[in-house]
Amino acid sequence: MPDVRSRLEELIDFCHEVGYRHLGLVFCCQLEREAHELARILKRHFTVETACCRLCPSGSGQLARRRVTPGEKRIFALQELIAYLNCSPVELHVDTGLCAGPDIVLQKHSPVPVTTLAVRDPLLGHDPLGALNSPAWRQKFGLK
């Protein structure tokens, strides 16, 4: 029987294998609850720095202004997020639900490797591959 693990388990095992001890968790404000749970799990194994991206638009088109817990860096502009991450002593950034733009910019400007644990896709329950598996979405994109 093949060894089947979750992506989170793979991430933890990989970090142990290569000797990473200090991770940066970068997350979208709309996935704050999930990011806090993820941080709790990762902190059992590593030192974890968190950075919350606040560029996601709310329903009104304004920048989201949600609460963050003490010790987290409030980030309100992408440039500040990148500057904060570049001065953090982490060995790997874990992207957890950033929008496509901030995700791309993070991967381009990060001084350390970046892995994506989750992507932000609220319409499809944060499962963008759902568009390839749903008959309605397949039809919308012209797939048979």
Q: Which uninterrupted H or E stretch holds 26?
A: strand 22-28
β-pair type (47-53, 22-28): parallel
Q: Would residue 1 count as lying in a domain? A: no
pLDDT at 59: 40
Q: Would residue 68 count as lying in a domain? A: yes
Total number of domains in the chain: 1
Mean pLDDT of 81-109: 86
Where in the sequence is the domain holding 22, given as residue range(s)?
7-140
Looking up residue 132, the CATH number of its domain turns out to be 3.40.50.11840
More confident: 96 or 133: 96
**pLDDT tens digit string along 36-50?**
999 999 999 999 999
More confident: 74 or 143: 143
Q: Is the dihedral of CA 90, 115, 61, 82 positive or negative?
A: positive
Q: Would residue 2 count as lying in a domain? A: no
Give the pTM.
Answer: 0.80
Q: Would residue 110 count as lying in a domain? A: yes
pLDDT at 69: 54
Q: Would residue 13 count as lying in a domain? A: yes
Q: Which residues contact 45 (CB under 8 A, 6 or more apart)?
A: 12, 15, 16
